[in-house]
A and B are shown apart, each in its own frame.
Chain A
């Protein structure tokens, strides 16, 4: 009897049960808000009630010069912000990691910690500290340049349209250079000694060992860092907000997608927040980041060669 009623393959409840906590938590705190944002961007507040308007908000965002000029300006600035990080932060990170992993370097633990510390500082502290450092009135930057006779090189960088964004990008690089350094450092340490010894037997040492052996082996890590930088930069907001305020001055030259979204969504001073337009901008940010990550996953990562040891 019992043998007859027992199904052949019992439903494996435990899989669902084991997955449930993660799926539920992730759905509740990630997927639902995301879907909510996407939904919000398709509605508009007309006469105190939310009305479905299809893609009308996006048409406003791209068709109305009052919005589109700001959006493209923010996107352009954001791309520049990203380029600076890719060109400055990641090469310096790799360089620092290579130096740190050198067995002849003394106090490497100290350097490692010192370079990593800014990463754990709050944006508010970083923004405020650099504002003071670069202040033309009380800052140490003009004073120190003066000591070496280069006072003429000093300009109020954060207040000049042409320099402000680059200056802020470099501040952000200063803050976050520890992350690529740590990841590359870990990757370098994981290269087996046999490989390096074999290389040495073949006469590959010093710089050429780095270029021919180590760099190919850490390329996957560099890929991961690039994608982390990309996502981080296109979601950036805090540093610009703390250093330049929500209007991202001077003349919107430091306005990136995050600050643009903030002003649209929450409003600023007399400007009243428009959650629907804000959600439309947030949706665009989501799509940009999604697109970037997809390009990386499908075009870059599949071509990276991995080595099994």
Chain B
């Protein structure tokens, strides 16, 4: 009896709800997202810009809490009440949704041609044939430096590894600044800001990454061990007690002006701009010899896809095409400096630091973090082990070779590359 009553009530509200929304002939698109932080940007900037160009389509951005997003979205998709547009997590979580038939194939969507294969890699089937989300944003790795410190010590921005270490030596000899702000306590700093930051220059970006997935290269190969050898050399340049230095400690060390170089991800830009009282610059991971091709980690982070059960698929596709356009890219990238649009079209950005980061895309080749696509699936988990081993290498607990061997052994235990 109560169940019936409840059902009736629910039915009533849903009919009323739809009736309320359908008073005009407008189509309303709902966006599912975990980026509650971006609510204001969507509401005030992105959605009005879209609606102005596409009368008749209304868009509602409806975020849920990041920790609840995946579970809530799964439940809504199962119940058929999920929004038309779905913000996509990179790699396996979205791939799973696509395989279950919850996300529509967008390979043929107009606008998809604006993205490079690397940008699309996070939302593709393993064979790369179908794409199911429009890439929205990525984060780029590099080094942020204290410009005042560099000027005072007469250091010019290093381009090669030798120059990089010469600069570190000079800062260390002077003693005013800690040469590099990084700690190994939280482990991921060493892996993400260290290994994945400098690594692409050694393993030649996408070439190495895809060869690793295909099984043509191993983590014990020279190109994959070499970044560990460089990381091991970082040790003397880190601050006193770096073993117990946490990520916020590193951020504070740098923004307080006590450290000269910060191995960074571009997501720091907004925070550093508000906290640092000195001028900052950025440089990409140094290459071996001047003039070498440089590679950067341009890691895909957020995408947006179409709910396969959406009743407004056409309107939703119009929206997605707009998301794939330079218009969207410009607004988005300027609203969130440090989260870069993946669009191939150049985006004009106001923030100088963000501009510097994004300018590397023109001269360097982009890749994503090596441990995410396909290789991030099993147990022992390659990404988590990379955290532990990167910290071990810097701490001196493991030699670069030993660390690489452990990682490869762990990977071999579950991953059999397709032949």
A102 in contact (CB, < 8 A):
no
B392 partner residues in chain A, CB cutoff 8 A: 250-251
Q: Are B384 and A269 in contact (CB under 8 A)?
A: yes
1/0 contact string of B373-401 vs chain A (CB within 8 Å): 00011011111100110011001011000
Cα A272 to Cα B96 with chains together (Å): 13
Q: Are B245 and A247 in contact (CB under 8 A)?
A: no
> Of B185, B380, B391, which one neighbours A66 at CB under 8 angstroms?
B380
B246 in contact (CB, < 8 A):
yes
- A159-B184 contact in complex given A249-B391, A250-B395, A269-B384, C-beta closer than 8 Å: yes
Distance between B52 CB and nearest chain A CB, rounded to angstroms: 40
Q: Are A269 and B245 in contact (CB under 8 A)?
A: no
Q: Are B245 and A66 in contact (CB under 8 A)?
A: no
The 3 closest A-B pairs by CB, nearest first: A136-B241, A159-B243, A156-B244
> Of B239, B253, B383, which one neighbours A269 at CB under 8 angstroms?
B383
**Could you tell me which residues of chain A, from 99 to 113, have a CB within 8 Å of some CB in chain B?**
none
Q: Are A156 and B245 in contact (CB under 8 A)?
A: yes
A252 partner residues in chain B, CB cutoff 8 A: 388
Cα A272 to Cα B379 with chains together (Å): 8
B249 in contact (CB, < 8 A):
yes
Distance between B77 CB and nearest chain A CB, rounded to angstroms: 15
Q: Are A160 and B243 in contact (CB under 8 A)?
A: yes
Q: Are B397 and A250 in contact (CB under 8 A)?
A: yes
B246 partner residues in chain A, CB cutoff 8 A: 131
Distance between A160 CB and nearest chain B CB, rounded to angstroms: 6
Q: Are B249 and A156 in contact (CB under 8 A)?
A: no
B410 partner residues in chain A, CB cutoff 8 A: 66
- A-B contacts, CB under 8 A, total: 103
- Best-buried of B184, B377, B379, B383 by chain A (most CB within 10 Å): B379
Cα A269 to Cα B386 with chains together (Å): 12
A268 in contact (CB, < 8 A):
yes
**Could you tell me which residues of chain A, from 43 to 84, have a CB within 8 Å of some CB in chain B?**
64, 66
B187 in contact (CB, < 8 A):
yes
B28 in contact (CB, < 8 A):
no
Taking A66-B380, A131-B246, A159-B183 as given, write out 7 further A-B residue pairs in contact, using a Cβ cutoff of 8 Å, ordered by the A residue number.
A66-B410, A135-B241, A135-B245, A136-B244, A156-B242, A249-B184, A250-B391
Q: Are B244 and A249 in contact (CB under 8 A)?
A: no
- A136-B240 contact in complex given A156-B245, A159-B185, A249-B185, C-beta closer than 8 Å: yes
> Of A156, A244, A250, which one neighbours B241 at CB under 8 angstroms?
A156
Distance between A74 CB and nearest chain B CB, rounded to angstroms: 14
**Could you tell me which residues of chain A, from 248 to 293, have a CB within 8 Å of some CB in chain B?**
249-252, 268-272, 274
Cα A244 to Cα B244 with chains together (Å): 10
Q: List 29 A-B contacts (CB under 8 A).
A: A66-B379, A135-B241, A135-B249, A136-B245, A137-B241, A137-B245, A137-B252, A156-B244, A158-B185, A159-B242, A159-B243, A159-B244, A161-B397, A247-B187, A250-B243, A250-B397, A251-B397, A251-B398, A268-B384, A269-B188, A269-B381, A269-B383, A270-B371, A270-B376, A270-B377, A270-B381, A270-B382, A270-B383, A272-B379
Q: Are B253 and A137 in contact (CB under 8 A)?
A: yes
- A247-B384 contact in complex given A66-B413, A137-B245, C-beta closer than 8 Å: yes
B245 partner residues in chain A, CB cutoff 8 A: 135-137, 156, 159
A161 partner residues in chain B, CB cutoff 8 A: 395, 397
B184 partner residues in chain A, CB cutoff 8 A: 159, 249-250
B351 in contact (CB, < 8 A):
no
A134 in contact (CB, < 8 A):
yes
Interface residues of B (CB under 8 A from A): 92, 183-188, 239-246, 249, 252-253, 371-372, 376-377, 379-384, 387-388, 391-392, 395, 397-398, 410, 413
Q: Are B377 and A157 in contact (CB under 8 A)?
A: no
A142 partner residues in chain B, CB cutoff 8 A: 241
A232 in contact (CB, < 8 A):
no
Please, which residue of chain A has its CB at the minimum distance from the CB of B249? A137
B239 partner residues in chain A, CB cutoff 8 A: 136-137
Please, which residue of chain A has its CB at the minimum distance from the CB of B241? A136
A251 partner residues in chain B, CB cutoff 8 A: 388, 391-392, 395, 397-398
A268 partner residues in chain B, CB cutoff 8 A: 381, 384
Cα A66 to Cα B409 with chains together (Å): 10
Q: Are B186 and A245 in contact (CB under 8 A)?
A: yes
A122 in contact (CB, < 8 A):
no
A208 in contact (CB, < 8 A):
no
Q: Are A270 and B253 in contact (CB under 8 A)?
A: no
Cα A252 to Cα B187 with chains together (Å): 11
Cα A270 to Cα B41 with chains together (Å): 28
Cα A249 to Cα B371 with chains together (Å): 20
Q: Are A157 and B388 in contact (CB under 8 A)?
A: no
A27 in contact (CB, < 8 A):
no
A155 in contact (CB, < 8 A):
yes
B397 partner residues in chain A, CB cutoff 8 A: 161, 250-251
Cα A245 to Cα B413 with chains together (Å): 26
Q: Are A271 and B384 in contact (CB under 8 A)?
A: yes
- Best-buried of A131, A245, A251 by chain B (most CB within 10 Å): A251
Please, which residue of chain A has its CB at the minimum distance from the CB of B371? A270
A159 partner residues in chain B, CB cutoff 8 A: 183-185, 241-245, 395
A64 partner residues in chain B, CB cutoff 8 A: 413
1/0 contact string of A134-170 vs chain B (CB within 8 Å): 1111100010000000000011111111000000000
B379 partner residues in chain A, CB cutoff 8 A: 66, 271-272, 274
Cα A2 to Cα B234 with chains together (Å): 96
Distance between A264 CB and nearest chain B CB, rounded to angstroms: 8
B372 partner residues in chain A, CB cutoff 8 A: 270
A270 partner residues in chain B, CB cutoff 8 A: 92, 371-372, 376-377, 381-384
> Of A131, A134, A137, A249, which one neighbours B388 at CB under 8 angstroms?
A249
